[in-house]
Structure 1
Amino acid sequence: MPLVKKHFTSAMLFVSLCLLLDIYSRMKTLSPPDVPKERLKNTGTPHLENCTTSTHISAIWRRNSLLRQKCSLAKHNLSPNVRFYHWKNLVYCKVPKCGSTFWMQVFIALHKVKGVGDIFGKMRSLHHSSPLSEISNWNHVTGSDVIFHVARNPYSRLYSAYVDKIYLPGFLGVSKIINKHNKKHCNQSVSFGEFLDYILKENLQDPHWQPISDLCGSCTVPYNVISKQESFNKDVRFILDKLSISGQLKQKFIKNLKAKHTENSIKEITKVMISFAKTDPCITFQQFCQRLWKSFQIQGYISDLVSFPANKFKHLNFDNVTIIVRKFLKGTKKIVMNDVMRKLQRQKNLSKAYRGISQKTLDILKKVYKNDFDIYGYTNELPKEI
């Protein structure tokens, strides 16, 4: 049997086994009506995590089946240089803008990498820590390994990459290149349309926006778990449940997954952005604060109904880090955003961003990311407000 086909068969058997185990577990927990509930508590019946339900396992199965079906029809590159992070039976292709920070935290903890400080609170060190265990050839993996990567709707992934790497005032490298290409001053904001035009024509290979199907070789690597940004928490629990780790460590990961990130994210992002922007002549302090405020609104941390208080930053400078953070956090308390409000606001900003893009650019985008739309089951219809 060819090696690729053998691994694909193993991938399907892996998910099938999970499904059978779940059904078995549910059958075992059923008891005759005359059995007292008190006795059931001490039966030691095996059980799976709440996330590992037959419904979710079926969702994983459907994703795998769709991937194999679409890959048999799609035109794709062989992607021989895919690299993976590896720990025992866990094999991961890192996809930026798809929960990669969380998974890097997990790998750092699993490898017990030293010198990175608080792994659940330090952003800069997560992607540039001591070398982790990597493999560059998926032929080294076995059928019992959990081989996975995270997919995301190309529309939201591209906009997230734009906000983080172009609009945020600390990362001005690509912005300067785009402005120079468009004969604009370096301190001018790069529009989302300009960003799309640039990457689609000039720089598609950056991993932050490269098509995931190319980046991870989705049609050549025998992935048995396709995770998605849209169901990230459930998928994380599913994958953790397959690892031979202590319950205490698993709970630590899950606790971090459940944690409220607004305050920590604002603190860390602000500090990182200041460290980069304070020495860059292309942005003033006031421009920095206003753009950072807007980025927090796009991410759903600060309500769109709360205007940027320019006068509150008037007498501050880049050295007033603590005060700046406090001002941003105060903005989050003007109108406290719950999960539903945050989701609606993010979707509104996403929809608004694409309304200003030319049809020519959209046509190219749909063509370039066609495989990502198809094999991961996303529609290429433009995002709309909910």
Structure 2
Amino acid sequence: RIIHCPIAKVGSTFWKRILLFLHNDTNGLKFNHPFEIPRMLTHYGPRQSMKSQAFDRLSRPILRNMTRVLFVRDPYSRLWSAYLDKFFLPDFWRTYAKNIVLRRHERSLKAGICHHDVTFEEFLAYVVDLKDEPGVLNEHWRPIQHICNPCEFRPHLLGKQESFAQDAKYVLNYFNLDYLLPSYDHNVYVEEELHMLINYNYKLLKQKHYDGCITKQELAGKLWSVFEFNGYLPLGSKTILDATSNFTMNSFTDLVLKTHRNRPKTPAEWKRQRIEAMTAAYKSISNYVIEGLQETFKMDFIHFNYDPIPPGKRV
């Protein structure tokens, strides 16, 4: 009797796997533990027994009789993560990036065709300009207030991305599901994340839209930068790419995993590296855009006790 309100970029894959496993709703496939369930099946597989329903259609009796779980994240961190995955990498170049590029008064021919060069500030300004139309905003950067209003959802259990491991453990213990935790290995999760991003983005290159927009070598460079920003690879290690050209997807994956496994840093240092990258990104954002974000995500800052001043802007 669990209701989990999934928020994109806030551990939604983790919790969907848990619930699919408990419901044995894995399209007839058998898995020994939830973290064996492939990511694509987790998000896009058919559903038979696990119910999914829009929050605004849930009846009050259902909400009253279920234990409600919600995980949240600092809006600034969530926006930075969304930008890296969807705009720095080519995932949304055909769609949302096109809308953003068309807002420019002047643009290069390549930018107009490929929509490949959306800056972090342009993305944030786009989010701000749509603040009065929250339903139009994509789920990856829509305020949590407009996905799962906590004043209506009223979660019994509220976890945060910033303390995800200990909060997830608490939630699973609450439901006597802590036996699932030994099957979770964070390092395995990181390597799966690396595999997934490489595989997904290399497959994008086969689509017609990306012809002439980005080469395999350029994609490898962008992926490597994202892995550095996320703390998975050492800063400055991208020079390794200069010694090799014409990567295949498999050879690039092997090099990324080898570099990741050989890195000497601790998880705490990975986190520090991520924070430093995000701080540098926000440092150059105009005060006008920051003020717009503070208004757009005002209730998320208030409800979940996050600092409305972004990293890089603190005096």
TM-score range, shorter chain: 0.7 to 0.9
| SS of aligned partner of 1:155 | helix
Deviation at 1:168, TM superposition (A): 2.0
**For the residues of structure 2 that align with 1:125 and 1:171, how far apart are their CA atoms?**
21
Deviation at 1:142, TM superposition (A): 5.5
| SS of aligned partner of 2:236 | coil
**For the residues of structure 2 that align with 1:124 and 1:192, how far apart are their CA atoms?**
27
Counterpart of 1:133 in structure 2 is: 51
Counterpart of 2:15 in structure 1 is: 103
Choose which of 52, 59, 78 in structure 2 pairs with 1:157. Answer: 78
Deviation at 1:162, TM superposition (A): 0.8
**For the residues of structure 2 that align with 1:357 and 1:381, how far apart are their CA atoms?**
12
Aligned pair in 2 of structure 1 residues 353, 231: CA closer, same or farther (>3 Å)? same
Give identity over the alignment, percent: 25
**For the residues of structure 2 that align with 1:374 and 1:385, how far apart are their CA atoms?**
19
Counterpart of 2:153 in structure 1 is: 221
- Structure 2 regions of 5+ residues with no counterpart? none
1:267-301 residue CA offsets vs partner (Å, 9 max, x unmatched): 22211111122332222212111100001011111
| SS of aligned partner of 1:163 | helix
Counterpart of 1:310 in structure 2 is: 241
Counterpart of 2:143 in structure 1 is: 211
Q: Name which one, 1 or 2, has greater alpha-carbon Rg.
A: 1
**Count of residue pairs the alignment pairs up:** 291
Partners of 2:35 and 2:183 within 8 A in 1? no
Aligned pair in 2 of structure 1 residues 257, 151: CA closer, same or farther (>3 Å)? farther
Choose which of 274, 278, 285 in structure 1 pairs with 2:206. Answer: 278
**For the residues of structure 2 that align with 1:257 and 1:327, how far apart are their CA atoms?**
21
Counterpart of 1:180 in structure 2 is: 102
Within 5 Å, give how 1:52-67 maps onto structure 2. none
**For the residues of structure 2 that align with 1:286 and 1:187, how far apart are their CA atoms?**
18
Counterpart of 1:231 in structure 2 is: 163
Counterpart of 1:120 in structure 2 is: 35
Partners of 2:8 and 2:140 within 8 A in 1? yes
TM-score (norm 2): 0.84
Choose which of 227, 236, 249 in structure 2 pairs with 1:296. Answer: 227
Partners of 1:306 and 1:334 within 8 A in 2? no
**For the residues of structure 2 that align with 1:298 and 1:103, how far apart are their CA atoms?**
25
Partners of 2:86 and 2:92 within 8 A in 1? yes
**For the residues of structure 2 that align with 1:99 and 1:253, how far apart are their CA atoms?**
15
Within 5 Å, give how 1:28-107 maps onto structure 2. 89-107=1-19
Alignment RMSD: 2.4
**For the residues of structure 1 that align with 2:125 and 2:63, how far apart are their CA atoms?**
41
Aligned pair in 2 of structure 1 residues 258, 331: CA closer, same or farther (>3 Å)? closer
Deviation at 1:262, TM superposition (A): 2.8
**For the residues of structure 1 that align with 2:280 and 2:245, how far apart are their CA atoms?**
30
Within 5 Å, give how 1:356-367 maps onto structure 2. 356-367=284-295
1:208-244 residue CA offsets vs partner (Å, 9 max, x unmatched): 1111112101122222111111121222122222326
1:134-155 residue CA offsets vs partner (Å, 9 max, x unmatched): 2431413364632021111111
**For the residues of structure 2 that align with 1:195 and 1:123, how far apart are their CA atoms?**
26
TM-score (norm 1): 0.69
Within 5 Å, give how 1:1-16 maps onto structure 2. none
**For the residues of structure 2 that align with 1:275 and 1:234, how far apart are their CA atoms?**
35
Partners of 1:348 and 1:385 within 8 A in 2? no
Aligned pair in 2 of structure 1 residues 171, 324: CA closer, same or farther (>3 Å)? farther
Residue identity matched to 1:120: F
Partners of 2:283 and 2:313 within 8 A in 1? no
